[in-house]
Amino acid sequence: MLPDYSNLYNSCQRAYDKIGQFENGNYFYVKPDGDLELQKVDQNSLIGAWSATIGKTVTNWSYGSEKADWRSVTSEIEKVNGQLKNLLDAHVLEDPDSSRDLNIKKLDLAIEQSARALHKVAQDYLEQSKQRWTRGTDKKEASTAYEKLARESYSLHLRLNCIIKELDSDEIPNADEFDGADNVLTSAFETLTDPNVLQEMDLENFEDAWLNAKQEAFSGGKDFLFNLAKQSDAIGDILRRSPESVSIKQLKEWAVELNKQIKKSDQSQGLKDLHALIQGDIAVRQSSMVKLTDSLKEAKSEGDVIRILGSANHVILEEPAVKALLKEVVSESHQRLAESLLREYKESGKVPDSIELIKGASVIVHESLKSSVGDTSAMFINHREKIEDLHGLLFSANTLIQDIAPNAASTMLQTTLVSVFNQLADICLLQQRTQRAKAYIEGCQGIRISSSHPVGDIGRVADMSKKSATWLEAGDQTVRRRNVRCQFKKIESGGRTTENLCFAFTVGEAEREKLSRRMSFLSKSGLLEDQSIKQEITKATYQTFDRSDNTYKDTVTVNAGEAVSYTDSSGKITLTIGTNDEKWNQYQKINVTADASVKAEDLYAFLTLFGLSTAMMQSRREDVMLENKARLANAVRPKETALQSSREETLDAIVSNADKVMIEKRAENMHLKDVGKGRMEYVDSHAIKDFWLSGGRGFAATLGHDGVTFNPLEVLSKGFYKTQKIESAATTLGYILKGGLISTFERFEMGIIGAGNAPEENIETGSANQVFTRPLTDNQFESAHDWRSYAIEGNILLLMDARLAERLPYGYAKDRAGIRNPHHVSKKMVRVAQKERPERGLRGEMMTERETLSDICKKQRANNYTLPTAEVMFEDVVGPDYIYGAVVNRPEDKAEVIRVLTGMGIDNIQGVPLNEAIFVGKLDKSMIKQVYEE
């Protein structure tokens, strides 16, 4: 039986009607039955002056079981707020239709008035706390308590306001989709930015009200995220979990892109919510930066500066503009004082009076530590003594902050601490100082990972990845591309089904070498035995996905070489690493399977042994910049950088000062984007311009290829190259339009274990994690190029627009199987690529044959030479947003493709009807999608 919602709402309204009258001259007391009672008093009377809430002292009056002290009163108001919040949650989920019969507009007006009254009381208390004749400390505490209640009340008002809007528009939220979010962020931002509201709220109150509304929207963890449009989940998670990882500039770019999507989308409420979230965060950050700048200008001593930094909104401390400001403000004397404060705490163990001093000192020392570490291993070694000292100070400070204020622990600081621990341990292993290395590893295990890290909350990641894989931006230099693939899987094995969270990521060549040293050390040092970790030689395996019961089963051993697995003492965490460098993709790949019940701190401690725990942690700005600069270096100077084993070596290979300046500038302007299947990647808009001006007009992939035949009858009738039935190719096209193009290894992770075009060769060459495409140039469209002349023949040509160049791919002017393995030596003495002359087998040094996209396009344009085997590779996925059409050979093929796609629920491609997006015949200028105006 459902509760009597009408009476419950009326009870709340009566309480808020009273609270709304709370002002100078009134006071509250708590009756024996727990209800709040309001009474008007004569402020000039002795009792009135003593017992009135806004009196000369903090009230502490009681008579029998009646109390008028502010703590009792605020406690009761907090209960009223909690009652309404719980009521809204339950009502919407259990009986949303009855909302129409309740007069909740009166309740909304009452709670809005009460929020304003509570805010006024808080302001009065704050003013009184500054007077000498009052008990200032108590008054300030009372002010803080009432201000908190004002924010909570205002947040509930915003939520009610949103429900009212739904009712007025004759739309009742669906219980399955509502999940407590109520579109509260959109409503909050619209309300908070109303001119009438802004006049009454200073910057600090706007920030507080917004953050409270944001917290309300995210109550229940996953609820708000699942109301967002599918392509926006990853952005929503970043802003909810660790907003300091993106800048105001990035937020503004997202806001612009979302505006475009909202205009195109029929069902855009999720996008509007996300847009409101971004707008609100921009406004909060800008107000916080103004406050911080003003406060620093008014600071009168080094101690003031440190205290200001300690109390600043931690999100803005990562803003480039704030970093630049701190370089100007923070001097050597500030640095010395900061180190002194942290050293005093470390040596004495005495907790300081103000945690802000420790937090502020940590901000300054953290920047100093990163500066000492630098970008090169040589710099690290030269500054090692200082690094160890600063690292020790920050380690103890981080522990204190987590003890006193866990939510204030900096994810960026923790990433630095772990990164430095790993570097110190690696140096000791190189120098064969094994005991010292062991001490660093065990010290690193002692860090308590914050829940705000990408994998700091296992439950949150599991909820996000139940429907499909989630890609998290994580890691320092250890994780290649700083992308960690996470997916919740039900795995059936040995007659039992378990729920697991599966992680997969890759490491670069230099990092894989360090990992080999670490694995050897662990086997010999006794650490594995000490922590009861089981080691086993095995094969690289994957499970097939059974759609009938959404379970992964039937373990398949793919030809990806041997691997070693490590299982923790509980048997709930397993790490698998490929051990055969001839199978390059598996050799670089790290797979982690953790039971869904595992705690983040246990997973962290386990991965720390192998130097891989930063895969769980938030990337810092310097990690992002180093990655972006190395990718740009590979894109603009592919021959020189192809064989470099680390980001550091890659950047060292750039000798031209002009190139260095250009790379630095473009890296600063790269921005995060969902490039497909929720994979967030930094992209370079400038690369689109370069590609277009060199004649590039897009990219293509052939669908429907079915191998090669040497049957004489088939050769005479259809040629050497077989194609699938058009219906099969059209079905493949439908899946691609829904989920994008995916690499061989991504298919394996999804449980699709199949042949592909050349998976075994690709695993050896290192390109099994790549999506292969052909570049398209203007001359091909102008000269009616026959797309069937490509090496891989088929019956559908998929068209992707020139924006795809922003992902900084690598490429070859002829078939090189996308080679990425510098150690590869083909087992074939002679290799015959389709439509190419026989030549020697592939070798690692052929990586230096890589060419820029511009050079490939120029060759393709020269004398209409179409490079039938030119290949351009993209990491893991190419999202459907880049696909704008397809070409078929005959009109009847077009009709069949449209029939199949319509049957799959697809009637357009990027908003263009299928009849206009499916082309027939050879390439033509009408098939070009214009994405750049010269």
Does the residue 380 lie in any domain? yes
Rounded Cα gap, residues 229 and 215, in angstroms: 20
SS3 77: helix
The encoded tokens of residue 865 equal 């030479």
Query: Does a structural domain hold residue 196?
Result: no
The answer to whether 178 and 93 are in contact (CB under 8 A) is: yes
Reported as a single tens digit per residue, the pLDDT across 580-618 is 999 999 999 999 999 999 999 999 999 999 999 999 999
161 occurs within a structural domain: yes
**Is 33 inside any structural domain?**
yes
Instruction: Give the residue carrying structure tokens 């009340």.
Output: 153
Same domain, 343 and 422: yes
Is a pLDDT exceeding 90 seen at residue 803?
yes
Q: Lowest-confidence range among 263-267, 861-865, 920-924, 929-933? A: 263-267
Write down the pLDDT at residue 125.
76
Q: Specify whether 661 is located in the same domain as 758.
A: no
The model carries a pTM of 0.77
Residue ranges making up the domain that contains 642: 621-669
Decide which of 315 and 30 is more confident.
315
Query: 570 falls in which pLDDT band (50, 70, 90)?
Result: very high
Residue 62 belongs to some domain of the structure = no
89 belongs to a structural domain: yes
Same-domain status, 149 and 103: yes
Q: Which pLDDT score is estimated for 294? A: 87
Which of the pair, 708 or 283, is modelled with greater confidence? 283
The amino acid occupying position 929 is K
Tell me what pLDDT residue 227 has.
38
Question: Closest Cα partner for 545 from 789, 753, 286?
Answer: 753
In angstroms, rounded to a whole number, what is the distance separating the alpha carbons of residues 852 and 512? 27
Q: Which SS3 state, helix, strand or coil, does residue 234 take?
A: helix
For the record, the structure tokens of 125 come out as: 């208390």
* Partners of 913 in beta bridges: 908
Average pLDDT of span 844-866: 89
Residue 160 and residue 79 share a domain: yes
Residues 658 and 695 in one domain: no
Residue 796 phi, psi dihedral angles, 5° rounding: -140, 130
The structural domain count of the chain equals 7
- Indicate whether 138 pLDDT > 90: no
**Domain membership flag for residue 206:** no
pLDDT of residue 460: 86
Q: Residue 236 has what pLDDT?
A: 65
pLDDT band at 305 (very low <50, low <70, confident <90, very high): very high
Q: What is the pLDDT of residues 630-688, one digit of tens each?
A: 999 999 999 999 999 999 899 999 989 999 999 999 999 999 888 988 888 999 999 99
- More reliable by pLDDT, 858 or 6: 858
Same domain for 293 and 313?
no
pLDDT band at 390 (very low <50, low <70, confident <90, very high): very high
Structure tokens at 418: 């772990």
Query: What pLDDT, on a 0 to 100 scale, did the predictor assign at position 185?
Result: 53
The confidence score (pLDDT) of residue 651 equals: 93
What is the rounded average pLDDT of the residues 615-623?
Answer: 92
pLDDT at 549: 87
Does 86 score more than 80 pLDDT? no
Residue 490 lies in a domain: yes
- Are both 664 and 722 inside the same structural domain? no
On the 0-12 / 13-18 / 19+ scale of CB atoms within 10 A, 27 is buried
pLDDT band of residue 773 (cuts 50, 70, 90) is very high
The residues near 468 (Cβ < 8 Å, ≥ 6 apart) are: 487, 677, 678
Dist CA 407 CA 204 (whole Å): 20
% of the chain at pLDDT higher than 70: 77
More confident residue, 889 or 99: 889
- Do 467 and 592 have their domain in common? yes
898-907 confidence digits (pLDDT tens): 999 999 999 9
Q: What is the mean pLDDT of residues 37-56?
A: 42
Q: Examine the pLDDT at 556 and tell me if it is beyond 70.
A: yes
Residue 181 pLDDT more than 60?
no
What is the spatial distance between Cα 122 and Cα 145, in angstroms, rounded to a whole number?
8
| Co-location of 746 and 872 in the same domain | yes
Domain shared by 686 and 639, yes or no: no
Do residues 70 and 142 make contact, with C-beta atoms less than 8 angstroms apart? yes
Q: Are residues 344 and 404 in the same domain?
A: yes
Same-domain check for residues 246 and 259: yes
DSSP of 538-604: EEEEEEEEETTTTEEEEEEEEEEEEEEEEE-TTS-EEEEEE--TTSHHHHHEEEEEEETT--HHHHH
- Asked if the model's pLDDT at residue 220 lies above 80, the reply is no
Average pLDDT across the chain, whole number: 81
Note the pLDDT of residue 32. 63
